[in-house]
Every structure is written in structure tokens, then in C-alpha cells.
Structure 1
Amino acid sequence: MSKPSQPNLYLTRRHWLALAASAVSGCGGGSGVSTAALPGTGGTGIYTQGSISGFGSVIVNSIKFDDGLADVQMDGDSATSADLRVGMVASVQGERGADPTLGTASHIEVWSIAQGPVLQVPRVTQSSQRADGTVAEFAEFSVAGMTVQTNPDTSFYGVALASDLVPQQVVTVWGLQAGADGSRWTATRVEVRPMGMVLDRVSTGVVHVAGSQRSLNGLLLTGSMADVLVDGSLLRVQGVWSDASSSLAVAHVKLLGSGLLGQLPDDAKIEVEIEGFVTDTPSASAFMLGNIVVDASAIAPLNMQIKRGTRVEVHGTWQSGVLKATKVEVEDEQALQSVELKGTVESFKGVADFVVRGQRCDASGLTNADVSHGLLADLKNGVNVKLRGNKAGDVLRVSQLEFVMNDD
């Protein structure tokens, strides 16, 4: 089914070989343990992992990647860049240009972290009203045994906010690890699935072994693939849920021991940029980014703002399973909510409701003075636009709009 990942930090080589040998790996509907292709090893090679913040080119960690020739995979299956959406967590492998904000992607990989019915009414932990009247909300809900947290930076599709979710509504979640033990994740995107759609259950966390039984996030795992899973492994499992036996028949496993979506060789020539949450109390020269070990000795002492729960972007190189940091940036709240899109207008219902690259947009706050190369009245299906704005739940509040007359 998928392109497979690197061994878990908790796995011995013997365990990994046994696990990999027991799995059937392939593409398009098979099942197995997944690994990912290596990036190019040229002098300007780059691997970046983070939430998608825009399109035209795919934008991850403020780098605009030309995705025209990229191999794209979503949950191990072949896809196209047109299938990608704002807020999905992606790993992008390719080459960086002379302008450090530009690159060319050779491989883009996206994995959801959870999928299944919402288990109870979401709990709102904090709520406030923005100046434009929209609601900024912090909430959490349970799905596939996981605790999923949302915040004002989370993108939604199908509902405006987490508090609009109802029990048994099926969702797919993309996100970043927020707890050191893998039990808590912060959603960067939540999509509501159509009622009646039959989907695999997906859960991400740490495997627990008790006798012959294996479980993950409280879900009993069954099947030959579950039998070889090692206690303490951080992984994503996908399979068919049985209400009758209250168990998950595992069809696919992706190991996340290093915290990377893809696999990287030790190569100081490959630049690495990773977005995530600090999941432990940092020492003067090291910390955990999700499940990634970060060696920050080259830039010690760390900024006092960098503490458990801080969302950061780490730049460096990958060496012996450790991210050797050359720079650590605390992510700006305003920047996290900012989105840039270039594409064709679809599903146009009016200036306050239209779609670009799968993202619902609202430009009703603009005047013609905010529009370049046209007027608001020129908005309609089929026109090409560039726009910038801020996320507000399932809507992008447009602050700048430009009509594009050609491909420049």
C-alpha cells in the first residue's frame, strides 16, 4: 500500500528485520510496513517537514517548492499536488534554490495521524472573539483512542470549529506530536468525512504489549502484522475496526521512531528543517521535538522562550538519528495563521464564499483598493488569482487579492 519508513528508535536491528520481513509492502492498496524514498544527495539537497501554509508552489516552513515534477504520496498511495490541502503535515524532499525561500520538490509525502468517529462532544478549553467577529478557539476531542487538540491555527473542512463536531462524525486528522509519550497530538487540519463513507481506522501512538496482546491508544490490535509489533514503538497503524470484537485488524504500519515522515541518510550536505512542538523540558543544549532528538549544542544556550509546549522550527543536519541544530526559531502566532494561495477560483457563490485550491475563501472584507489587476466584481469561476489571508476555522479571510492574467 505504501512507501515504507525508517526503524523506530526503540527497535533493535533484529526486531526491525523481523518486522520488515513479516510485512507485505508495495503500492496502491497493498499492506505492510512503510518506508520512504531518500532525498537527492546533491550539494543543495533539502528535507523539510511541517504543515502546508499555501499553494501556487507548495509552501512548507516558508519555502515555496515547485511541485510540477514531484512524486506525491498521501497515506502511502500515489496522489497529485492538487490533492494537497492547507494544514496537512508534509515532508518535502528536493533541492533548494539560490534564493533560500525557493526550492524544487522531488518527493512530497503526507500522512494523516488519526481517522475514525469522534467519540464524544469536544471540550472547549479556551475561546475568544477576534476583531473581525470570528471565534478563536482551543479545544480537544477523542478519535481512534487519541486525544486531539485544536487551536486557532488549525484548519478545518466540513465544520467551522472543533466545537461544531458531534459524536460519531467521522474525521481525518493531520497534526504534530504534542506529548513526549505520543498520546497527545495537536491538529493542523481536521476534515469531516461524508456520512456513510467506509474508511479504515487510523491511530498514532505507542504500542503496549501485555502477554500475547498488543494495543495502541487503548485499541486492541489483531492480525499477523500486529503480532510482531514491539513494546514501546511509536507508530501509525491503519486497519479495519470491528465493533463485534472491539479490535483493529492491522493492515498497514508506519514506524515513526525518529519522528520523521521520510527516511534520511547521514549527510551534512542535506539541509533539514522540521516544524514541531518541544515535548520535554530542554537542557542548555538539547531537547525533544516531538519524538526527534535535537542536539542544540552548536547554538547553546537556548532561547528562554524555548520550553515544553513551544512550537518551533529547527534548522540543521541529520546525523546518526539526531537533528544537529544550527538554528531554532519560535514560530510566530500571526505567521501560523497566514496563508498564501495561487490558483483558479471554483465553487463561486459570491465574494464571501468561493474556493481556491480546496480552501474556502471570504473576500468580503476587501475594497477595490485592496485588489490588483482587477475589481472585486471580476471574481468568478475560472479566473486565476493570488491571495493572502488568515485562517479562521474552515474559512480563509482574504486580506490581499490579485488577478493573474498569465502564468507569471
Structure 2
Amino acid sequence: MFNSTTLRARTTLNSRFGPSLRWAGAGLCLCALAVLVACGGGGGGDATTAGSNTGGNATASAYTAGAISGFGSIIVNGVRFDDSSADVLDDDGVRHGRDELKLGTQVEIESGSLNRTTQRASASIIRFGSALLGPVEAINAASNQLTVLGQTVEVATTTVFSDGLSGGLSAITTGMVLEVHARLDTARAVYVATRIEAETGATAYQVRGTVASLDTTAKTFRIGNAVINYAGVATVPTGLANGSNVRASLQTTAVNGQWVATALKSAERKVGNHSESEVHGLITAFTSVTAFSVDGLAVDATNASFPDGQTGVVLGARVEVEGPVVNGVLVATKVSVEDESHDGRGEDYELHGAISGLDTTAKTFTLRTLKVSYASVTLWRGITEAQLANGATVEVKGSLSADRSTLTASRISRED
């Protein structure tokens, strides 16, 4: 996960498989796939292991990683997780309140088994964090991109902006300090943002990414276009090397063109055994169609089915992978290629709750602190527009408006 100061971006691990798993043949690829993880660096002991133990048994039935795409309690990839009893932690293990969990926030969830009929589960641990925290150095509105701490950040149709950035990309100016939740597309060296927040009064910056141009004599390396000097870091991750994934805390002022690191930790993804898993994410390392990584998690697809064929399974592709996680490797039973063309076309986000601030003239109301427009609803279920009222409990599905300030509802249903 990512460190943090403080919809449907789809990186979920949860699956439908029970105890009677067929892992025959999985061991044939585990060593090769371990190399895929190691190619990301090594850094072992500094990275947080989700659901891991030394006995090799699963400590949680399901593991989910991705952006929050809705509330009620929290929704990640269509699954509603009851977070009422969950511990909410940042990447350094510091406890936080549930109000830190915002739309588009990247999270990891440890939970009980998924109920595939109701698409619900009970979360026990929720970890959250961001990829970048730092100043905006350049803005390219034509390409929907900006540069933060030397990293290219892409604003997608599903990127959520915080209340302080009403207007979306047009509200951002150079020099502004932002916190960016994102997935790293290694094929393009671009951070695809799921949430962007304005940060004032930041006492430290941070960047998570892949080490390049490591100079162990000068104690410097690059992440993207940022040069980082780690000479003053007391503890360096074991196995630091080109290709390592690290998380660096930085001073807020560059010195001689270099960002000065105050702490350096491994950011390698480590996932314990889980009998259920489903991954929605980007292919971030690729050896073959049967040996690759999704958002840093190694996948053995030797015995998997490919309902969409294998042609689209390439570096940078967005895929859905199902299967158990065994010794840090997702043993796939199914690999599907996801179609990004449907993003922003109706139902990227889902909210559940009580209506407030109803404005029948503007055709808007507030739900879970987010402004909702019902002017373009195409499907009403159990409720009509005339029956909308403050206090009514509804389910809303929709997409963000162009300026990312409003959820444009396509479907509204009554909830009892």
C-alpha cells in the first residue's frame, strides 16, 4: 500500500473459491512468479504483509485492494463491506477514524468470506494510503495530465476531486500541493489518479514508485523524473536496487535539484494466503500470458481460462483475475480483459444513504456529503422523482460530472 498524511478504480482481490481448491500444477510456476515479484526489487521486511502468517494458513477469507467506489458502508468493486467493526490504519499502522475513507481513496481490506448473492462482506482491517504528496510542477489540460514531484499524473473520467478542488483539473495551479491516490501504469510510466486532494500545510512530501539510476556511492536514485538523495536515511530497505518499489518521505524543499529523503521503506506488495480472491487491476510486470503481475501481485495463469482470449493480456492491460492466493501468488482460474471504454458512462459509482439538501428546482440533493444530480435519471426503482424527500433512503448509481463536483445519477432506487 501507499503511505498517507491523512470509483470504480478496480483493484480487488476477493474470489468465489472455497476450501476444496484445485491447486494441482500451481507449484510449477511459483518459483518463476516469485522472480516477477523480486524483479520489482526485494525490499522484503519493510513492506506490510496483508493477511500473512508464518504457518502458511489463510488469516482472512478475502483480501481486497482498490479504490473506494461507493458508500454503504464502503464499496470496492461492487462489494459492500461492513466497516463498523474494522480497524482503519494507514501504511505506518497508525489508527484513524472511518471518516478518512473517501470516494476514490486507495484501500486494502481484510474481510470474511464474500456473500456472492448479496455482494457483501464484513471488513476486519482497512488500510489506506496515497501514491504521491507534493507540489504541482506542470499542467497539461489538453492531455488531462499534470506533473507532481516529477511524476506524470493522468486524470481519468473516474478521478474524484476533493471539495477544495471544485472544477477538477481547472482548479489546479502550479505550486499547489496535492495528495494523489493512483495506480501506477508501468507500461506508460503514468500514475492514473483515482482521487486528488488539495493539501495545505504539509510538513513532508512523499513519492511511491520504482527505483532507477541507483548510485550507491552518491546515495541517489530516480523515481520518474525526480532525483532522490537518501544519504541521510538511517535505515535503507534490504535489497534496494534498480527496479525496487519504494516509498520515500521527503523534505519539502529540494536541494541542488534533488529531493532529500528522510525515510525510505519498501513498497513491494506482500499478500498472505487467501482462499478467495478476485483481482481487478493493471498488468504491471509481464513474462507471458500465464506469468505476469497485477498491481505488483504475481499471477500464475497456467491453468486459467481466458473468456476474452489471450491477445489482450499484455503489459499495461486492465484485467480481472480470479483464484486463491498461495504463498504470495494468485493461482488464477480465470483471466478476463476489462473494457475501459465504459468508464464514465453511467454507473461508475454507487451511494447508499439518506437524502438531504433536496433542491427540486436544480434537481439535486446531497448523499454522503456528495452532491447528486437527478436530472438525467433513466431508471427509477421503487420511487419516483415526485417522491424524493429529505430523509428518504436511496441507492444511487451514476458517474461524475465533467468538473468532478457532482455525481450524475443514472439510476435511483428506494431502500428500506
After TM superposition, the score normalised by the length of structure 2 is 0.74
1:116 aligns to 2:123 (yes or no): no
Report the AA paired with residue 386 of structure 1. Answer: E
Instruction: State the shift of 1:61 in Å.
Output: 2.4
Instruction: State the shift of 1:12 in Å.
Output: 8.5
> Mapping of 1:348-359 within 5 angstroms?
351-359=362-370
Instruction: State the shift of 1:327 in Å.
Output: 1.6
Report the AA paired with residue 351 of structure 2. Answer: L
Report the AA paired with residue 124 of structure 2. Answer: S
Unaligned runs of 5+ in 2: 5-36
Q: Which is further off, 35-44 or 302-311?
A: 35-44
Query: Is the contact made by 1:146 and 1:204 (CA closer than 8 Å) also made in structure 2?
Result: no
Query: Is the contact made by 2:140 and 2:146 (CA closer than 8 Å) also made in structure 1?
Result: yes
* Matches of 1:374 and 1:332, distance apart in 2: 32
Match of 1:190 among 196, 210, 226: 196
Query: Is the contact made by 1:140 and 1:149 (CA closer than 8 Å) also made in structure 2?
Result: yes
> Mapping of 1:1-400 within 5 angstroms?
9=38, 16=44, 33=46, 35-38=48-51, 45-76=61-92, 77-99=94-116, 101-125=119-143, 139-157=144-162, 158-179=165-186, 183-193=189-199, 196-208=200-212, 209-210=214-215, 211-217=217-223, 218-222=226-230, 224-225=232-233, 228-229=236-237, 230-232=240-242, 233-244=244-255, 246-257=257-268, 260=269, 263-265=270-272, 267=273, 269-279=274-284, 283-299=288-304, 302-333=309-340, 336-337=343-344, 338-345=348-355, 351-366=362-377, 370=380, 372-373=382-383, 375=385, 378-380=388-390, 384-392=393-401, 393-400=404-411
The C-alpha deviation readout for 1:74-133, integer Å capped at 9, x for no partner, is 3433223332122222211111244352211111111200111211122423xxxxxxxx
* Matches of 1:390 and 1:339, distance apart in 2: 6
Instruction: State the shift of 1:202 in Å.
Output: 1.6
SS at match of 1:99: coil
* Matches of 1:149 and 1:340, distance apart in 2: 23
Report the AA paired with residue 9 of structure 1. Answer: A
SS at match of 1:105: strand
The C-alpha deviation readout for 1:238-285, integer Å capped at 9, x for no partner, is 23322455544444544232xx3xx433x3x52222221123566242
SS at match of 2:85: coil
Instruction: State the shift of 1:35 in Å.
Output: 2.0
The alpha-carbon distance between structure 1 residues 219 and 71, as it changes in their structure 2 partners (threshold 3 A), is same
Instruction: State the shift of 1:224 in Å.
Output: 4.4
Query: Is the contact made by 1:35 and 1:254 (CA closer than 8 Å) also made in structure 2?
Result: no
RMSD of aligned residue pairs (Cα, Å): 3.4
Query: Is the contact made by 2:398 and 2:411 (CA closer than 8 Å) also made in structure 1?
Result: yes
The C-alpha deviation readout for 1:24-50, integer Å capped at 9, x for no partner, is xxxxxxxxx552552796697011212
* Matches of 1:376 and 1:223, distance apart in 2: 65
Query: Is the contact made by 1:180 and 1:290 (CA closer than 8 Å) also made in structure 2?
Result: no
Instruction: State the shift of 1:56 in Å.
Output: 0.4
Instruction: State the shift of 1:164 in Å.
Output: 4.5
Query: Is the contact made by 1:119 and 1:168 (CA closer than 8 Å) also made in structure 2?
Result: yes
Report the AA paired with residue 400 of structure 1. Answer: R
* Matches of 1:352 and 1:213, distance apart in 2: 58
The C-alpha deviation readout for 1:294-325, integer Å capped at 9, x for no partner, is 21111266532333332122222223332221
Q: Which is further off, 49-58 or 243-252?
A: 243-252
SS at match of 2:161: strand
SS at match of 2:108: strand
* Matches of 1:60 and 1:270, distance apart in 2: 19
* Matches of 1:331 and 1:397, distance apart in 2: 23
* Matches of 1:339 and 1:110, distance apart in 2: 19
SS at match of 1:9: helix
The alpha-carbon distance between structure 1 residues 311 and 360, as it changes in their structure 2 partners (threshold 3 A), is farther
Query: Is the contact made by 2:280 and 2:318 (CA closer than 8 Å) also made in structure 1?
Result: yes
The alpha-carbon distance between structure 1 residues 355 and 200, as it changes in their structure 2 partners (threshold 3 A), is farther
* Matches of 1:143 and 1:378, distance apart in 2: 42
* Matches of 1:85 and 1:331, distance apart in 2: 25
The alpha-carbon distance between structure 1 residues 168 and 97, as it changes in their structure 2 partners (threshold 3 A), is same
Report the AA paired with residue 319 of structure 2. Answer: V
Q: Which has the higher contact order (CA 8 A, sep 6+)?
A: 2
Instruction: State the shift of 1:159 in Å.
Output: 3.9
Percent identity over paired residues = 25
* Matches of 2:357 and 2:203, distance apart in 1: 26
* Matches of 2:371 and 2:90, distance apart in 1: 21
The alpha-carbon distance between structure 1 residues 281 and 39, as it changes in their structure 2 partners (threshold 3 A), is closer
* Matches of 1:292 and 1:397, distance apart in 2: 34
SS at match of 1:107: strand
Query: Is the contact made by 1:85 and 1:359 (CA closer than 8 Å) also made in structure 2?
Result: no
Number of residue-to-residue matches in the alignment: 361
